[in-house]
Amino acid sequence: MFKHLPDYLLVFIFGVFFTSLSGAAALERGMLYSGLYDDHKGFIKIISGGNGRPFVKGVKQNHKAYACFRNYAYRYFPIKGYEQELGELRPHWLKVLVIREELNSGTLQDGSWLIWLDDDLFIRDFEGPTSIFEKYIQTFSNLDTVLIATGDCDPFIMLNSGILIFKVGDRSREMVEEWWDSRPRQGNCHHDDQSRLIDLIQSGYEPYVAVVPQRLDNLSLNTFLLFFPSGGEDNDCYAQKGDFAMQPAGATEEDKEHILKQLLNQIYYFKIQYFQSACNL
């Protein structure tokens, strides 16, 4: 199944598998945080969505288990039901539509945080009292910050939209409304959501946006498992053992399915089993 994957990626996958056993033991010793993700209305809410690719079921389970562990709210948005609003837009625009919906729902207090995760991104941050998202918020946000996002492997691309951390408030609602309004109209549907977000930020929102490194000291977020040709093992965006949130960016759909199934089957079996009764997984 994995003959076509790079050697370094296979080494990474199986290396993560063996180190995960110690993490599972730590959970068994009592590092389980209480709270039901579907009842929680607190400080952070995680959302994701997509068109139901084969590997999504496992990724959703990973996200739900993580939200339960951290006592965050969680919701997954299937693309079904949004087809009319999306029209001929690429499925990626579901991201903008549901972020907009959540920010305007009235269920999130101003000053709380709404986090978007792509549905091919998985999380290993199941240990310790402070989550990787809280660490990034504490480290990189200030009173004016409305969005935290990571950079990209490509130095010519301002940010990668695989993880977006929005502070709920009037300015973020205004920003996302403009983002949605920038969507391509009929006959011009090739522009993606990420490039439109970058254009929007550069048009006047830069003072309110923190574009942060994918790796800094002991922090890592949205590191990539596969790379464009310019990538490499020494690149800070390259996924390393112990990274907290990783994404097979640039991979084919077939490779994504192989990579995520392998990782989820080997790693999260040991972790999710501790949340099944509490989280109704």
Distances from the Cα of 177 to the Cα of 100, 102, 116, 203, angstroms: 7, 12, 16, 14
Average pLDDT in the chain: 78
Q: Quick one: average pLDDT of 27-56?
A: 59
pLDDT at 26: 32
Determine the 3-state secondary structure of 144 from DSSP. coil
List, for residues 210-241, the tens digit of each pLDDT value: 999 888 888 888 887 754 444 445 567 777 77
- CATH number of the domain located at residue range(s) 7-276 in this protein: 3.90.550.10
Return all residues near 248 (Cβ < 8 A) that are at least 6 apart: 120, 224, 225, 226, 255, 256, 259, 260
pLDDT at 200: 97
Distances from the Cα of 125 to the Cα of 10, 55, 84, 112, angstroms: 21, 20, 36, 20
pTM of the model: 0.80
pLDDT at 272: 56
Q: Quick one: average pLDDT of 135-154?
A: 92
Q: Quick one: average pLDDT of 108-134?
A: 91
Q: Quick one: average pLDDT of 125-133?
A: 90
For residue 87, pLDDT beyond 50? yes
Check: CB of residue 17 under 8 Å from CB of residue 266: yes
List, for residues 176-201, the tens digit of each pLDDT value: 999 999 998 764 555 689 999 999 99
Q: Which amino acid would we find at residue 171?
A: R
Q: In which residue are the tokens 């010519």 written? A: 156
pLDDT at 239: 77
Q: What ranges do the domains of the chain cover?
A: 7-276
pLDDT at 41: 38
